[in-house]
């Protein structure tokens, strides 16, 4: 059995716009594997999740991006939703936070539209990954090797990057990220 016992995993989300299932599914997988998930955002309080375009639940923020660092976590999860990564990539502290996981050699998992953050952080060049299909051109233009796969695990370089396309892929994404986070 794969375990994340003793590992703390950051989940980076904007104050509004994260796709709820892409936050809660991996969150639950981390908890079930014995890890400790922590919600990080660009301001304190809570975030508003969505079910595509409809408001979902709110979630309490554990840390503000400008008051924490990659050193406080063992890995990073970037949930999707169109608005979530689009807002985060405009926040220089959020981009620096995500990039610092790559600079530290720590594993990162991104689903759906979340690779927009990775493009902004300039960490996709030469890496193999997948995403929501509409990001294909953006990723290729940023130097990534894009594939239309349920899950892509890239071990090029010092850290592991797990990526996935959409909510339907969550079971495979969750299994891959827990395995990657446990072995690093």
Sign of the torsion angle spanned by Cα atoms 58, 70, 64, 164: negative
Q: What is the 3-state secondary structure (H, E, C) of the chain?
A: CCCCCCCEEEEECCCEEEEHHHHHHHHHHHHHCCCEEEEEECCCCEEEEEECCEEEEEEECCEEHHHCCHHHCCEEEECCCCHHHHHHCCCHHHHHHHHHHHHCCCCEEEECCCHHHHHHCCCCCCCEECCCHHHHHHHHHCCCEECCCCEEEECCCCCCEEEECCHHHHHHHHHHHHHHHHCC
Catalytic residue among 51, 66, 112, 154: 112
Catalytic residue among 51, 52, 66, 113: 113
Annotated catalytic residue 112: yes
Annotated catalytic residue 52: no
Of 144, 139, 138, 141, the closest CA to residue 125 belongs to: 144
- Tell me which residues are annotated as active site: 112-113
């Amino acid at each position: 059995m794969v375990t994340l016992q003793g590992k703390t995993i950051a989940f980076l989300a904007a104050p509004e716009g994260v796709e709820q299932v892409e936050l809660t599914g991996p969150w639950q997988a981390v908890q079930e594997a014995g890890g400790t998930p922590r919600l990080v955002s660009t301001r304190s309080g809570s975030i508003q999740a969505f079910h595509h375009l409809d408001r979902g639940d709110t979630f309490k923020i554990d840390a503000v991006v400008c008051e924490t660092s990659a050193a406080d976590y063992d890995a990073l999860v970037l949930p999707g939703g169109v608005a979530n990564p689009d807002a985060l990539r405009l926040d220089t502290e959020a981009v620096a936070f995500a990039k610092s996981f790559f600079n530290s050699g720590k594993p990162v998992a991104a689903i759906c539209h979340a690779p927009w953050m990775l493009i902004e952080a300039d960490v996709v060049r030469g890496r193999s990954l997948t995403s929501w299909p509409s990001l294909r051109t953006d990723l290729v233009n940023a130097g990534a090797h894009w594939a239309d796969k349920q899950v892509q695990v890239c071990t090029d370089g010092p850290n592991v990057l797990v990526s996935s396309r959409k909510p339907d892929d969550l079971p495979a994404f969750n299994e891959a990220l827990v395995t990657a986070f446990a072995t690093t």
